[in-house]
Amino acid sequence: MCKMAFIAAMFCIAPIVAFADGRTDYNAHCAGCHGAHGNVQTEKAKALHMDVRKLALNVSKKNKSEVIAVIRSGKGKMPGYAGELTGEQISLIADYVIALRKK
Ligand code: HEC
């Protein structure tokens, strides 16, 4: 019985680990301001009177280490995430943001 439950649990957990990419964290922490595709059409961006051109991550020219620096420390009205997200999460989010540009 116990063994079966263990195997069932492995099947439930494994896909979550396998798909832990930057997208989940991006959607949870960033999409509210930057939009689901980094292209900014959000109400929040308008409500905060943000410069929507700066928010459009898909036109950002920053390289990966610069993107990581912004995520860690924040910029302007954007909060920093160094205390909230691990280095690995931030690195995955940076990859995801950079991948958004190619779409
Ligand atoms: C509260 C709204 C808000 C949230 C949440 C937010 N940002 Fe930002 N972000 C901004 C604003 C505003 C700027 C522009 C700052 C400036 O240049 O004055 C910005 C700038 C950036 C830049 C720099 C773009 C460039 O080309 O200069 C990157 C990269 C970025 N954000 C990524 C992220 C990521 C990744 C997350 C999630 C971990 C995130 N942001 C969460 C508001 C937000």
What are the tens digits of pLDDT across the range 38-77? 777 667 777 777 776 677 887 788 999 999 999 999 998 8
Residue 4 CA neighbour count, 13 Å, CB half: 1
Q: What is the token pair recorded at 68?
A: 């990581």
Q: Tell me the pLDDT of the chain averaged across its residues.
A: 81
Q: How far apart, in whole angstroms, are the C-alpha atoms of residue 77 and residue 34? A: 12
pLDDT at position 20: 62
pLDDT band at 100 (very low <50, low <70, confident <90, very high): confident
Q: What is the token pair recorded at 86?
A: 């691990």
**7, 24, 52, 55 from 14: Cα distances, Å:** 11, 16, 38, 34
Q: What is the token pair recorded at 15?
A: 């896909």
CB-defined site of ligand 1, < 6 Å: 29-30, 32-34, 50, 54-55, 57, 60, 62, 67, 70-71, 75-78, 81, 93, 97
